[in-house]
Structure formats: structure tokens, C-alpha cells
């Protein structure tokens, strides 16, 4: 082998050098068909995940994670925050019961207080805003009292904590939470050298505005670079823009050194007809490219913070069939519930896209245009359909008069046909207010018109 060839090989090995322990996986359990915790931890281990984030402090899972190489993030549930915020004994008890018994065999590294607390806008939710930082302080104090110094305390927030995100230099926290919640929180995170945990999904801004944001830009595949006129920084992908809007928002409040961690990110592998771009091709592309970026050595960082590593947890381990809401909600998984991969992925970042087989061609990258109806799923349980039908007609101001004997939608006299009529009526009436065509798994969207003869089913026009 010539000297040049050796040199080129060495260069190649350098470019593939990976900081391999930056990528974690969120282990959500909102499914009734998921593998046992034991099998799930085996799957995580086989995937070489070095970090896992839980949405609680499940004792079985924490025990199963003992003597593994996997670092663990546990969570204080939202409904315990207000009590912990004002009750030192409750805070200590929480740590004593949910953390202490598993140390040091289970490598708990982060204790996250609540989940997207500042995105709950109900009266009860808003009460939690006030309690969030005091609860974080109480938990930190409790860890200290128990001489636990290896665990950082944080709280994962969603992008709606910002009232402005574009261009990134205009990033700014929502005014209503800025002084009372965000500033004390940033003080806490800065003082305790913790991370600002952010759930950040380029999928959402892209899917809400697919004509103005290029899909390639959202999937790290180039697209037009954009220059932020406020900072003169140049962006090559949407994730960097979103992350930097958080960094600029923090800097404006005087905190320019709190590191970011991505508590959730990902791309849905399937979704409803009115959810463009949710497919296996895009999900694999996003997550593979994300891992490539986040595992370079030295780290890439973002334009506002080049070279700074960003711990990243992908959402999610499994497709979770009991998450309510639009179809995408149930399709964020790297794995099917039976443990098989939805697409191949290498969490260490050592394999590039070219090392995997071909992906199915994306079919829904262009938003669907036309009419869509919401009908009963084939084979849905008749009793459940009847209950949903009755409830919907009774509770939601949906006009079900057309189903009465002798009226235009009475025939065919079948529960599925009647339920489909009610689902379509409900969804077309309330979609603009956020209603989804789901009905607990009883309903799905269709582009084929279920109307029959004189019975016209209401539809949504996309």
C-alpha cells in the first residue's frame, strides 16, 4: 500500500472518529402492546444506547438498569411538583424512595422535575409554573442532604417557552413566564452547572409551513442556507436555528453559558392524511443525520456556540399506541412494539446512511389536497363504536338528526355506518379547534367519499 493510501485511510478514520456516548433514547411506555421492561432494556442495550430517559422513576426499570453501561435520566411527575415545592420532607422522601435505593448500581445522572410544565395552560397547569423552580431547588437540596453530587437537576421545556424564534437572534422567552419562572430557573441552572433541557422538533414548524421551509433544510440535507440578519450567522438546518433561538433568548437575560441538552427530538414515521412528511424515509433521514451531527469529534455545536457538545435524546424507543391526538403521536418510535426496527439506525454514529439498505420512497412529502372524511376503523368493536356515537351526538352539538329512522342517513342501518357519519360530522366541525380523527382508535381519515345516495357525509377540505 502506498504512503498516500495509508494517509488517506488515516484521514478517513479521523473523519469517522466518534464521540460515541452523546445519544440517548426516550423510553416512553404509553402503549398496551409494548415489550416488558426487561425486554425493552435488552433492546436498548443491543442498540448500544448509552443514555435512556424515563418519564417517571419506575422501580422495575431502575432495577433492571443496574450494572449496565446505560446512564439514566429519571423524572418527577408533574402532579407531585406542587407538593414538593413547598414541602421539604416530601422532596427528601421523593429522592429517598425513587433515587437513593438504586445508586450507585443504576447510573442515574439527571433528575428532571416535570415534563413540559410551562406548556400547560389550564388553571391547574399555570399554578405549576409558579411551583416549578421551587420544586427543582427542593430536589437539589434533598440530593445534597443525602450527599448525592453526581445527579444534575433540570426540567424539559417545549419550544413554546419562546414567544419569538425566528430569526434565531430574535429568540425571546414568553413575557408571562420570563421574570417569575425563567430568570430564577436560569439562575438555578447556572449556579448548579446543569443543562437547559429543550424538546425540539423541526418536524412541527416544517409541517405547519411546508411551502416556506424546505424539507431538506429540516432533514439536514442542505436546502438553502439562511443568514440571520441580526447576528450574521449562517444556518444550514432548522434544528440549529431552533436551538440558537433558545441560546439567544437566554443570552438576552444575561445567561450566555448555560449548556443546552435536547431532551426530545425526532421525526414521525407515519401519520394521518392531513400530516405531511410523516414517513419512514424522513424519520430515518432525520434521526440518522441528527446522530451523525451530534457524534462528531470534536463536537459541531451550533452557529452561536460552535464546538459545544449537546447531549441528545431521541424520541422515542417504541411506537406508542395509546398516545392520544393525531396519528403522528403514535409513530415516533425507532422500534415497533414487537421490538423490530422501523428502520435501521446506529446510535453510535459509526454507520452512515450509505451503510444501511434502501428506504421506502416517501409518498406524502407534498401536503394532500382534497376532501378527507373521518370514518370508523374496519373491524372496530361495535359496542365501543355505539358508545362513541351516542356520546358524541349527545355531548358535542353535532347534529345527528339525519340518522333517525326514515331520514337520509338511516340506511344502511349499521353501527359502523352511523358512527362514520357522526365521526365525519364531528371532525369537520371541530378540526379547526384542534379536534382529531381518532376517537380512541375507533376512527381514521380516508380520502374515499363514504356518502351514499341522499346521505352526504361532511368532510374537511385540505
The secondary structure of 375-421 as a DSSP string is EEPTT--HHHHHHHHHHHHHHS----GGGSTTSTT--S--HHHHHHH
Phi, psi dihedral angles at 362 (to 5 degrees): -70, 135
Q: Closest separation between CB of residue 147 and ligand NAG, Å? A: 4
Tell me, yes or no, if 264 is annotated catalytic: yes
Which CB sits closer to ligand NAG, 12 or 383? Answer: 383
Which CB sits closer to ligand NAG, 74 or 250? Answer: 250
Q: What is residue 16's three-state secondary structure?
A: coil
C-alpha cell at 393: 351526538
Q: How far is CA 130 from the centre of its chain?
A: 24
Of 168, 166, 138, which Cα lies nearest the Cα of 153?
138
**Catalytic site residue from 92, 116, 275, 329:** 116
Tell me, yes or no, if 320 is annotated catalytic: no
Which CB sits closer to ligand NAG, 67 or 149? Answer: 149
Which CB sits closer to ligand NAG, 149 or 340? Answer: 149
**Cα 90 to Cα 425: distance, rounded to the nearest angstrom:** 48
Which CB sits closer to ligand NAG, 14 or 383? Answer: 383
Q: Closest separation between CB of residue 255 and ligand NAG, Å? A: 5
**Catalytic site residue from 92, 264, 275, 329:** 264
Q: Closest separation between CB of residue 173 and ligand NAG, Å? A: 15
Structure-derived torsion over alpha carbons of residues 156, 160, 164, 169, reported in degrees to the nearest 10: 20
**Cα 74 to Cα 114: distance, rounded to the nearest angstrom:** 10
C-alpha cell at 84: 414538593
Give the bridge partners for 53, in sequence order.
26, 73
Which CB sits closer to ligand NAG, 146 or 308? Answer: 146
Q: Closest separation between CB of residue 145 and ligand NAG, Å? A: 7
Binding residues for ligand NAG, rule: CB under 6 A, are 146-147, 190, 209, 212, 254-255, 390, 394
Q: What are the Cα distances from residue 315, in Å, to 26, 202, 241, 288, 391?
A: 5, 13, 20, 13, 34
The secondary structure of 359-379 as a DSSP string is -PPPS-SSPP-SEEEEEEPTT
Active-site residue list: 116, 264
Amino acid at each position: 500500500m502506498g504512503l498516500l493510501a495509508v494517509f488517506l485511510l488515516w484521514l478517513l478514520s479521523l473523519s469517522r472518529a466518534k464521540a460515541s456516548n452523546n445519544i440517548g433514547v426516550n423510553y416512553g411506555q404509553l402503549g398496551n402492546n409494548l415489550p416488558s421492561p426487561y425486554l425493552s432494556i435488552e433492546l436498548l442495550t443491543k442498540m448500544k444506547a448509552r443514555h435512556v430517559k424515563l418519564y417517571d422513576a419506575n422501580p422495575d426499570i431502575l432495577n433492571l438498569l443496574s450494572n449496565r453501561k446505560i446512564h439514566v435520566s429519571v423524572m418527577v411527575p408533574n402532579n407531585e411538583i406542587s407538593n414538593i415545592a413547598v414541602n421539604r420532607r416530601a422532596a427528601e422522601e421523593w429522592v429517598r424512595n425513587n433515587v437513593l435505593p438504586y445508586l450507585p448500581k443504576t447510573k442515574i445522572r439527571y433528575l428532571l422535575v416535570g415534563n413540559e410544565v410551562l406548556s400547560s395552560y389550564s388553571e391547574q397547569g399555570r399554578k405549576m409554573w409558579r411551583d416549578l423552580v421551587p420544586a427543582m431547588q427542593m430536589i437539589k437540596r434533598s440530593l445534597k442532604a443525602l450527599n448525592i453530587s453526581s445527579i444534575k437537576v433540570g426540567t424539559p421545556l417545549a419550544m413554546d417557552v419562546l414567544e419569538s424564534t425566528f430569526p434565531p437572534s430574535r429568540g425571546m422567552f414568553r413575557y408571562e413566564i420570563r421574570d417569575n419562572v425563567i430568570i430564577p430557573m436560569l439562575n438555578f441552572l447556572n449556579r448548579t452547572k446543569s443543562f437547559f433541557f429543550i424538546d425540539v422538533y423541526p418536524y412541527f414548524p416544517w409541517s405547519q409551513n411546508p411551502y416556506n421551509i424546505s424539507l431538506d433544510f429540516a432533514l439536514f440535507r442542505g436546502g438553502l442556507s439562511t443568514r440571520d440578519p441580526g447576528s450574521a450567522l449562517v444556518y444550514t438546518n432548522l434544528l440549529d436555528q431552533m436551538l440558537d433561538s433558545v441560546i439567544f433568548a437566554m443570552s438576552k437575560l444575561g445567561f450566555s453559558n448555560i449548556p443546552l441538552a435536547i431532551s426530545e427530538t425526532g421525526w414521525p414515521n407515519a401519520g394521518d392524511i392531513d400530516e405531511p412528511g410523516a414517513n419512514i424515509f424522513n424519520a430515518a433521514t432525520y434521526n440518522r443525520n441528527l446522530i451523525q451531527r451530534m457524534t462528531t469529534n470534536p463536537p459541531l455545536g451550533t452557529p452561536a456556540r460552535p464546538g459545544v457538545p449537546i447531549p441528545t435524546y431521541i424520541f422515542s424507543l417504541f411506537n406508542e399506541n395509546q398516545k392520544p391526538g393525531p396519528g403522528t403521536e403514535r409513530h415516533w418510535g425507532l422500534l415497533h412494539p414487537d421490538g423490530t426496527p422501523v428502520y435501521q439506525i446506529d446510535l453510535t454514529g459509526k454507520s452512515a446512511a450509505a451503510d444501511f439498505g434502501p428506504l421506502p420512497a416517501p409518498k406524502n412529502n407534498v401536503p394532500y389536497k382534497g376532501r378527507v372524511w373521518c370514518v370508523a376503523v374496519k373491524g372496530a368493536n361495535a359496542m365501543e363504536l355505539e358508545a362513541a356515537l351516542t356520546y358524541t351526538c349527545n355531548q358535542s352539538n353535532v347534529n345527528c338528526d339525519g340518522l333517525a329512522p326514515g331520514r337520509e342517513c338511516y340506511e344502511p342501518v349499521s353501527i359502523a355506518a352511523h358512527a362514520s357519519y357522526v365521526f365525519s360530522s364531528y371532525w369537520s366541525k371541530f378540526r379547526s379547534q384542534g379536534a382529531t380523527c381518532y376517537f380512541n382508535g375507533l376512527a381514521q381519515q380516508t380520502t374515499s367519499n363514504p356518502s351514499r345516495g341522499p346521505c352526504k357525509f361532511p368532510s374537511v377540505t385540505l
